[in-house]
Chains A and B, each alone.
Chain A
């Protein structure tokens, strides 16, 4: 085998080189993420999102209340329509009294 012919020093140097390369790659990745400031930006975005949550919840509740008011208006309109059925009768009675 080829590796058997290599001497210990070559193996040791190769090992050091590989370790150094891997460490350099890790440092490079860390430097890239630090330089892009993505952590800070993303954390700020998440904080802004969380701060808006209260307003979104308030808007959602307001819209739900509007829906309830809408249904109550519909009930009232139906009641008015039912009451208007008796209008002719009332007019006839008034005419009689007059």
Chain B
């Protein structure tokens, strides 16, 4: 009756009795040696993968260096873009003055032409005066 109660109490395998084999605990040196064996095996397997790991590390380093270069370029390009926009605005504000400079340049050219004509006329006048003086 007690056994039947035990059997019905276990929900997973109600019809099977589970028994454990009586074992001695493993010796300490065997446990240590097993531990060392598994450690060394893990190191060996890690060593097999070391080449691939180093390749990945190299790619990671190259990627990081490239990221730095690109971020530097981005920083410079942003500052250049902002500065050029400001310069465009400033040149737009200077446009009336540049138009005035054009007007001044035309006036100065006309003045220069007038000065040349005056100089030429004065030389002709001088030459005529001298010829009249000789008579």
How many residues of chain A have a CB within 8 Å of chain B?
Answer: 38
Question: Interface of A with B (CB < 8 Å)?
Answer: 1-3, 18, 22, 25-26, 29-30, 33, 38-39, 42-43, 45-46, 49-50, 56, 59-60, 63-64, 66-67, 70, 73-74, 77, 80-81, 84, 87, 90-91, 94, 97-98
Q: How many Å from the CB of A46 to the closest CB on chain B?
A: 6
Binary contact readout B11-29 vs A (1 if CB under 8 angstroms, 0 otherwise): 0000000000000101100
Which residues of B21-55 have CB atoms within 8 Å of chain A's CB atoms? 24, 26-27, 30, 37, 41, 44-45, 48-49, 51-52, 55
Known contacts A60-B73, A77-B90; A70/B80 CB under 8 A: yes
B70 nearest CB neighbor, chain A only: A56
With both beta carbons as reference points, the residue of chain B lying nearest to A22 in the complex is identified as B41
B101 engages A42 (CB within 8 Å): no
* Contact between chains at A33 and B41 (CB < 8 Å): no
Number of interface residues of B (CB under 8 A): 40
B112 to chain A, nearest CB (A): 11
Candidates A18, A81, A91; contact of B94 at CB < 8 Å? A81
Chain A residues whose C-beta falls within 8 Å of the C-beta of B37 in the assembled complex: 18
Q: With an 8 A cutoff between CB atoms, is B9 at the interface?
A: no
Q: Which residues on the A side are within 8 Å of B111 (C-beta)?
A: 94, 97-98
User: Do residues B66 and A56 form an inter-chain contact, with CB atoms below 8 A?
Assistant: yes
